[in-house]
Structure 1
Amino acid sequence: MDLHGYFRSSASYRVRIGLNLKGLQYDYCPVNLLKGEQRGNDYRKLNPQGLVPALVDGDTILTQSLAILEWLDETHPEPALLPAEPLARARARALVYNVACDIQPVQNLRVLKYLQGEYGISDEQKIGWIRHWIHEGFCALEQQLNPAPFATGEQPGLFECCLLPQIYSAERFGMDIAEYPAIHRIALACGEIPAFIEARPENQPDSTL
């Protein structure tokens, strides 16, 4: 498998964690978002949206990080990223969507560029915008997370694949994760697991380019 992504992209980071948790081998193909490589003709053949990631497995091309992660869970079911019981799966997905659908999209690169280009917001206002939406989402998650080591029990899963990249982003913009005790507990637990360590942005080959 080839994973086309960017080291600091939350969506790419999610898929790296999922692949690592599954113990799947893949080749990492950097796409430099700051240089606009995602908008090039060659890359748009993989992902017409011009977004990362894109996962290529033989003749199969998959986009959208959550779709990729659920496909991985269905085609490589062990270890599972989602609980087996339907209600538990729905509750896990609700936590996942809080991060992947409500927090992260409003702070991704193209949204921030639009805010600065069209409305002239300052860097300080941009950081305030990012912190606001992360804080709103994290406060809601704090009320929903159980006291187990991870969101759905004793092992990390789909939620942790999404949460750790969001934590990375929050810390990058100066937020103190210790203010969110349940999230902080999960972050510390994941920080001891090789699958999460290897997926971190600073451990990707394009982080130094």
Structure 2
Amino acid sequence: MVIAWDVTAGYSRHSPETPRSETGPLHGVREAEIASQAVIRSGLLASLPRLWRYAFVLSRQRDVADDLVQQTCVRALERCGQFVTDGSPDRWFFSILHSVWLNEARARKVRFGQGLVPAEEHLAFDGAREAELRADAGKVLRLVNALPEAQRAAVFLAYVEGLTYREVAEILDIPIGTVMSRLAAARAKLAAGTDGGV
């Protein structure tokens, strides 16, 4: 009797030509992994613009945003087995991106011994988009970009991406009460800035 065992082909020990039952445990695991990879790939493709916007909100630099999104994609694809298929891939991607950003920010401070470059030096928009912005929208953008990073991230996720407070808390890995207080503080600063004619 010839014993033929090939995990990828799934042959039985009785005959090299007879496929193993497709209901076996290995088949189920491989099927779930393939399904998870497909969900992640299509989800990443659909989420790239949103991920880039969030990366730009965090970093305020186009090249850093590009790198953050690329690292997020790589990490998501490498860890697709950790994704819970009934969850939202968007929230998972945002969590990964936020984690990558925190690691990058820490490494940058260690390497250069300083914080980030001020937003005014790097905040620029494409000509078409710049033409669409009204004066008031420009003021709000400047005010939002002047917020501390923690408040800026919460504002973007809650008000631009439309996520719930609980979803924002999961992405930022903080209590929901902290999300609410960051948003309240950000709203107060924005209101004071717009009332002050900034």
Compute the TM-score of the two structures, normalised by the length of structure 1: 0.27
User: Could you say which structure has the larger radius of gyration?
Assistant: 2
Higher relative contact order (CA 8 A, sep 6+): 1
Q: Which has the higher strand share?
A: 1
